[in-house]
Amino acid sequence: MRTAASGDARACADVKLSGALPVPPAGMSVRQDVSIGPDCAPVLGPARLVAKAGPAATAQAAPAAAPADRQVRSWSEMYDCCNIRMTGLYTTSSWSSDGTVVTTSATDATQQWNREPWNAGWSLKSSAKSADCVANCAVSTNVANASFTYKGIFDPTGNVYANTHRSTVALKADGTASCTFEVDLKNTFVGWNWQRGCE
């Protein structure tokens, strides 16, 4: 990482963030915030285990279609220093297992981004998802990618800012799972905040 502009200690270039979270017990959510510190290094907040709220919690409490059915959601969001969400990548994975293999699995990925008036702001450049195995495997590893560009009031050229999110969810035969996250930031500022979570 390096300072983006000479003499501007609050700007950082080529920032790469990564981390992992375990999938919490049913009805719970694990969340973590990572902010860009004064030296352009990430400052990790604590991983917080909280109860899910709202319709998702009610759905989680309902009986599953079968005892082995599982579902996990992950999110990776970049916020600016004013707490405006710039870009986000979200996955929802479901899988069934018999304790020995993952019998079936599927993952959906969605993206969100902040627009400004006059057809400006963040845009989705590309997105993709893949899985190394979706049936009869010990682990189903699912990867989602989303690349975003920015052209707007803070950069009319469209060449300064770009965010790339990568989320990996490993679905296991024993019914457990894990979430791994990566974000590459072309240019960023001290105070930008990455929020990631798994539930």
Give the pLDDT of the chain (199 residues) as one tens digit per residue: 333 333 344 789 999 999 999 889 888 999 999 999 988 999 999 999 999 874 444 334 334 434 448 899 999 999 998 899 999 999 999 999 998 999 999 999 999 999 998 899 999 999 999 999 999 999 999 999 999 999 999 999 999 999 999 999 999 999 899 999 999 999 999 989 999 999 9
Range of the domain at 79: 11-46+69-198
Q: Residue 94: what residue type?
A: S
Structure tokens at 195: 């929020």
Q: Is residue 6 domain-resident? A: no
Q: Is residue 58 domain-resident? A: no
Q: Is residue 153 domain-resident? A: yes
Instruction: Identify the pLDDT of residue 1.
Output: 37
Is 117 exposed, middle or buried, given 0-12, 13-18 or 19+ CB atoms closer than 10 A?
A: exposed
Q: Is residue 130 domain-resident? A: yes
Q: Is residue 1 domain-resident? A: no
Convert 45-85 into a string of H (helix), E (strand) and C (coil): CCCEEEECCCHHHHHHHCCCCCCCCEEEEEEEEEECCCCCE
Instruction: Identify the pLDDT of residue 185.
Output: 96
Q: Is residue 57 domain-resident? A: no
Q: How many domains does the chain have?
A: 1
Instruction: Identify the pLDDT of residue 4.
Output: 39
Q: Is residue 56 domain-resident? A: no
Q: Is residue 51 domain-resident? A: no
pTM (two decimals):
0.87
